[in-house]
Structure 1
């Protein structure tokens, strides 16, 4: 079956970051809205399939100022989860695929046949380009505490408070707000490597994420203060990875984790560059166990 168009949008100039492309928080916000529309159109709900366990995004092409956006959504039973909702974001003017998101649900094998019948008009084949690549498909574990992370070289990179304007329709902070906090904090994570602000400015480089996985562990509500603890999880020749842990500040309750695969982008050629050897060494010395 063809996918359902669930969002029509546009890249506004104020949504673009220092790399002159759409900031990742607005990809998440648009996928969140597309998912709300898909749930309405398909009848998918937590009561039917259980809560979403994880959202996994891959960035395929840059979206820039004034680009058009369309999201098309479907549901797969041959994906990495028992039930996988697939969102594909593209520029309808060119047909270029910009990003993909897969949402993982685990309603139980006993429900497979009834769910297949119920969602038959929306079932699509799992596309290879949306499959996890640099990150595993499973949700991040929820047993980590701040003391353990700090003992492994994780450091705080952001503090904030949830305000009424940050709440979604369910009166909880949504994906877009969480990503805005992670995005503001990540520059301080890069500062912990030789690829700091001075290095990037000198060479005309930018910070770019190519893959992300968001796992919510508990809700964050109006008035709650929070902080983000981040540790590196690995590196390769051109990419490195880290995990953000968002904690509610009063009780140190784990709220969410965001796994990220990042790279250095040459802002002139728009191509990735190899990580400096000193950066790889320093990241490996600070790697946490996950």
Structure 2
């Protein structure tokens, strides 16, 4: 993907100075959206950048989705399993920030049936992150679903639409050997434990994202933006958009490994792809595409990638 052709990201990651929508804070709201989560940023959920780690955004979207399905009657029986979850990060959440999530169905979204989750700072209404969940029910069932789920429908918000990553789920089936031959590298190894399982006794989104975030520093280390470079300049690693596609389930006891590679580069952003494998059989379990940038930790804003970084990343692309 040529990232230079996409619209610029909102790369100022500082907390927003005040409300900008219509609800209890004087902010605009979706008419039929349901309140699906009330939470709080705990100190142990924050990373080296002093903001909430992305795995906890995913865990809260996962819980909000469970509550939305309970309240709306949406289920896999009606629409099939979720094909993709696409998350965009808009503003930082810091220690002690309140979290709220509202959820609704958008039939005008990027998928045949799209569930939209909007995460806000519960104290001032600032949009912190959005998630779009894609489902592909049968075309013949669509009219019935629109009628059955009418009470929970609202328009697709522009700020939740995918921007730097393709809308569709990842559909290829690369082998570990093929990825390594293309230039990707192993960056994480671990085991699925009982605490990583969701209600369906399968590893959940948080587990997959935690594997990727624990391994991603090793991907950055292959570029000129090494740990030493970031520390010296007061910079941090930041993801601004992620797309998670589950290929096959993982259960307790499964050994896993992550093989990751770089896929694109622009002036301020670059992309990478993480592949989560069940290590015993080398079965592909999940894939996560990521748009990343370098953030100035004092100014809380994006900085341009060094020329050397763009050139080096261009020479390491696996796509």
Give 1:122 shift. 0.2
Q: Does 1:98 align with 2:145?
A: no
Q: Within 5 A, what are the aligned runs for 1:85-234?
A: 85-234=115-264
Does residue 273 in structure 1 map to residue 303 in structure 2?
Answer: yes
Q: For the Cα contact (< 8 Å) 1:142–1:217, is it kept in 2?
A: no
Tell me how far 1:195 sits from its aligned partner: 0.1
Distance 2:155 2:124 in 1: 23
Whole-angstrom CA distance in 2 between matches of 1:2 and 1:169? 27
Mapped to 1, the partners of 2:214 and 2:196 lie a distance apart of 15
Asked if the contact 2:97/2:122 (under 8 Å) is kept, the reply is no
Q: Return the match for 2:51 from 8, 11, 21.
A: 21
Aligned to 1:235: 265
Bigger mean CA deviation after superposition, 280-289 or 218-227: 280-289
Cα separation, 2, equivalents of 1:188 and 1:143: 23
Taking structure 1 as the reference length, what is the TM-score of the superposition?
Answer: 0.99
C-alpha deviations, 1:135-183, integer Å up to 9, x for none? 0110012321111111110000000000111111110100011111110
Q: For 1:257-285, what per-residue CA distance to the aligned partner results, in whole angstroms no more than 9, with x for missing partners?
A: 00000000000000100001111111111
User: Following the alignment from structure 1 to structure 2, what is the Cα–Cα distance between the partners of residues 235 and 142?
Assistant: 21
For residues 101-147 of structure 1, give each alpha carbon's deviation from its aligned partner in whole angstroms, at most 9, with x where no partner exists.
Answer: 00000002211100001101100100000000000110012321111
Mapped to 2, the partners of 1:62 and 1:24 lie a distance apart of: 10
Write the distance in 1 (CA, Å) between the matches of 2:82 and 2:32. 23
> What CA distance in whole angstroms lies between the structure 1 residues aligned with 2:285 and 2:71?
29
Write out aligned runs for 1:3-14 (5 A).
Answer: 3-14=33-44
3-state SS of 2:108 partner: coil
Aligned partner of 2:110 among 75, 80, 84: 80
| Structure 1: runs of 5 or more not aligned | none
**TM-score for both structures, normalised by structure 2:** 0.90
1:16 and 1:64 in contact (8 A); partners too: yes
Do the aligned partners of 2:260 and 2:274 also contact (CA within 8 Å) in 1?
yes
Count of paired positions: 289
Please name the residue that 2:275 is paired with.
Answer: 245
**Structure 1 segments of 4 or more deviating over 4 A?**
none
Local SS of the residue matching 1:64: coil
How big is the alpha-carbon RMSD for the aligned residues of Structure 1 and Structure 2?
0.7
2:13 maps to: none
Superposed displacement of residue 25, structure 1: 0.3
Q: Is residue 295–residue 302 contact of structure 2 (8 Å, CA) maintained in 1? A: yes
The alpha carbon displacement at 1:2 in A equals 2.4
Distance across 2 between alignment mates of 1:23 and 1:240: 19
1:65 partnered with 2:95: yes
Kept in 1: contact 2:88–2:241 (CA 8 A)? yes
Whole-Å separation in 1 of the counterparts to 2:172 and 2:308: 32
